[in-house]
A and B are shown apart, each in its own frame.
Chain A
Amino acid sequence: MLSIENVKSAYGRIEVLHGVTLYVGVGEIVTLIGANGAGKTTLMRAISGVQPITDGSIRFKSVPIEQQPAHARVASGISQVPEGRQVFEPLSVKDNLKLGAWRRRDGDLEQDLARVCALFPMLEAIWEMPAGALSGGQQQMLAIGRALMAKPQLLLLDEPSMGLAPNLVDHVLSVIRALKNDSLTILLVEQNARAALSIADRAYVMETGKVTLSGAAAEIQADHRVREAYLGI
């Protein structure tokens, strides 16, 4: 579904992705783990088209998309839940969700709003509240719901468990599993490697702008380097 080859990206003159290669197959949950500053967010932004790349190619459903503007990538089925949630603070929960469907021209928002509410029942009680007034957990649910409103085929999740209470982390994980069962393809970036590996099919480990390890999630979980560096065992 998504195939990234030798992608390089820089902030100004400082290159932070030194040629990243990874792929995500249809219906998979792939997780990308790595320490602070490894370049995970930069890669996610490059996939969505909000971070320019200097080299390499990004293919989505076999189509090269690296030249496409961000809005075209959303229209073709890539949706991202960005790091730090990034909800539209002045707008209500409802409006945040409606805007999630901005690129869609097919109707029936009501049904999709209902679907998001079914996934995150807690949103219904705060339907008219401005997103800026929500708790971190509520904002994270909203950010995921907003991304789902675009009806994506590929969902990019950048640290969805960051700053969440443990029970909410579990809830988010169960939602991700449910989405996979709904045949959504997911690329999940996580600091919480244990959680990510527990639900992923495959995993990549990234260090300072390069993929250093990849394989089935179970293999990665068993790898002694990963156990030391990311699982604290």
Chain B
Amino acid sequence: MAELLQFVFSGLTVGAIYALVALGFTLIYKASDIINFAQGEFVMLGGMTTVFVTLAGVSLPLAALIAIIVTTAIGLALHRFAIEPARGASPVALIMITIGASIFLRGVAQIIFDRRFHSLPSLFGGDPIKFGGAAILPQSLVVLASAMVIVTLLWLFIDRTLLGKAVIATAANRLAARLIGVDTRRIVDFSFAVSAAIGAIAGVLITPIALTSYDVGTLLALKGFAAAMLGGIGSALGAVVGGLLIGLFEAFAAGYLSSNYKDAVAFLIILVVLVSIPQGLFGRAKIERV
């Protein structure tokens, strides 16, 4: 029982991170139909930049803020200078560009930072809290609470502001959005910026628990993508639920089978979803307009 609880906690913690990555995928996909495979690099940049800025003597909160701002700027630049000039290209070509950007960012990180693993101190110390026989890291609670706050803020933004509604409008019907005067390019800019910021926050949050290095983005993107697929690509609720489920599956696979199988879970889920429920748990079958 204690063991189960332990797995559930660690599963939910990484799951919350996958959920944030998946939300990043979702936001960009909704606004532009692009699957941004550089989403994992945003997470890496958030963690790595924080690490290196703190090494330069800056306090952790300020370093985290700098990292989030830098990553947001990179997300915006990715859209402005790599995606936008290729507008009109097929979705596949645009996805290739994001894969290229992901490789590029990894390469640059390797040069600017280094190839070693790094960690960050956790906000409330490293002593685990005992709960029902399980040991919970305080940082896990920080991750879960922060993820909840981000999801809530995002929901409030989308549901309560006119800009949020313009994002929905653009996602729902780009032609009509342009006809009422929405500058849809700006909306996509905005979605890249917000996705990058969310990714960076996820990177800052997870680094005290899981180590970071220049290449952690690849696996995180894969898992976030699996989460988005499982939830139904384009569904924000699906992204959150999908992320948490994948985290839980992983924790159970690692705990009850072997930690070697942990990373295979995401692949397996992508396959199963593709074959049996391509629209995901919360997605709607895509209706092609004629």
CB distance from B84 to the nearest CB of A (A): 13
CB distance from A3 to the nearest CB of B (A): 21
| Contact among A70, A75, A89, A95 with B179 in the assembled complex (CB-CB below 8 Å) | A70
Which of B170-178, B240-248, B269-277 interfaces with chain A? B170-178
* B125: Cβ under 8 A from any A Cβ: no
For the complex, give the distance between the alpha carbons of A218 and B31 in Å. 47
**CB nearest neighbor in A for B170:** A88
Which of A70, A80, A90, A95 has the largest number of chain B CB atoms within 10 A? Answer: A70
For the complex, give the distance between the alpha carbons of A147 and B181 in Å. 10
> A86 and B179: CB pair below 8 A?
yes
Residues of A within 8 A of B172 (CB): 88-91
A-B pair number, CB within 8 angstroms: 66
* A48: Cβ under 8 A from any B Cβ: yes
* A82: Cβ under 8 A from any B Cβ: yes
Q: How many residues of A contact B (CB 8 A)?
A: 27
> A86 and B175: CB pair below 8 A?
yes
> A82 and B175: CB pair below 8 A?
yes
Beta-carbon contacts under 8 Å, A61-100 to B: 69-71, 73-75, 79-80, 82, 86-91, 95, 98-100
> B173 and A86: CB pair below 8 A?
yes
For the complex, give the distance between the alpha carbons of A90 and B177 in Å. 13
Residues of A within 8 A of B179 (CB): 48, 50, 70, 74, 79-80, 82, 86
> B165 and A91: CB pair below 8 A?
yes
Beta-carbon contacts under 8 Å, B192-250 to A: none
| Contact among B176, B181, B183 with A88 in the assembled complex (CB-CB below 8 Å) | B176
* A150: Cβ under 8 A from any B Cβ: yes
> Which applies to chain B's interface (DSSP): helix, strand, loop or mixed?
helix
* A146: Cβ under 8 A from any B Cβ: yes
For the complex, give the distance between the alpha carbons of A199 and B176 in Å. 26
| Contact among A70, A86, A98 with B181 in the assembled complex (CB-CB below 8 Å) | A70
* A102: Cβ under 8 A from any B Cβ: yes
Beta-carbon contacts under 8 Å, A19-49 to B: 48-49
> B169 and A99: CB pair below 8 A?
yes
> A50 and B175: CB pair below 8 A?
yes
Residues of A within 8 A of B168 (CB): 88, 90-91
* A103: Cβ under 8 A from any B Cβ: yes
CB distance from A17 to the nearest CB of B (A): 18
Beta-carbon contacts under 8 Å, B133-187 to A: 162, 165-166, 168-169, 172-173, 175-183
**CB nearest neighbor in B for A101:** B180
**CB nearest neighbor in A for B185:** A69
Beta-carbon contacts under 8 Å, A94-116 to B: 95, 98-100, 102-103
Which of B162, B166, B172, B178 has the largest number of chain A CB atoms within 10 A? Answer: B178
> A88 and B169: CB pair below 8 A?
yes
> B176 and A87: CB pair below 8 A?
yes
For the complex, give the distance between the alpha carbons of A89 and B181 in Å. 18
Residues of B within 8 A of A88 (CB): 168-169, 172-173, 176-177
CB distance from A110 to the nearest CB of B (A): 14
Residues of A within 8 A of B177 (CB): 88
For the complex, give the distance between the alpha carbons of A88 and B178 in Å. 12
**CB nearest neighbor in B for A98:** B162
> B162 and A89: CB pair below 8 A?
no
Residues of B within 8 A of A87 (CB): 173, 176
Residues of A within 8 A of B169 (CB): 88, 91, 99
CB distance from B49 to the nearest CB of A (A): 34
**CB nearest neighbor in B for A49:** B178
Which of B176, B179, B181, B183 has the largest number of chain A CB atoms within 10 A? Answer: B179
> B176 and A102: CB pair below 8 A?
no
**CB nearest neighbor in A for B289:** A84
For the complex, give the distance between the alpha carbons of A227 and B162 in Å. 48
| Contact among A70, A75, A147 with B178 in the assembled complex (CB-CB below 8 Å) | A70
CB distance from B187 to the nearest CB of A (A): 11
> B178 and A71: CB pair below 8 A?
yes
10 A-B residue pairs with Cβ-Cβ distance under 8 Å, sorted by A, are: A50-B178, A71-B178, A86-B173, A88-B168, A88-B172, A88-B177, A90-B172, A91-B168, A147-B180, A150-B181
Knowing that A50-B179, A70-B181, A99-B169 touch, tell me 10 more A-B residue pairs with CB under 8 angstroms. A49-B178, A50-B178, A71-B178, A71-B183, A73-B181, A80-B179, A88-B176, A100-B180, A102-B180, A102-B182
Chain A residues packing against B (C-beta within 8 Å): 48-50, 69-71, 73-75, 79-80, 82, 86-91, 95, 98-100, 102-103, 146-147, 150
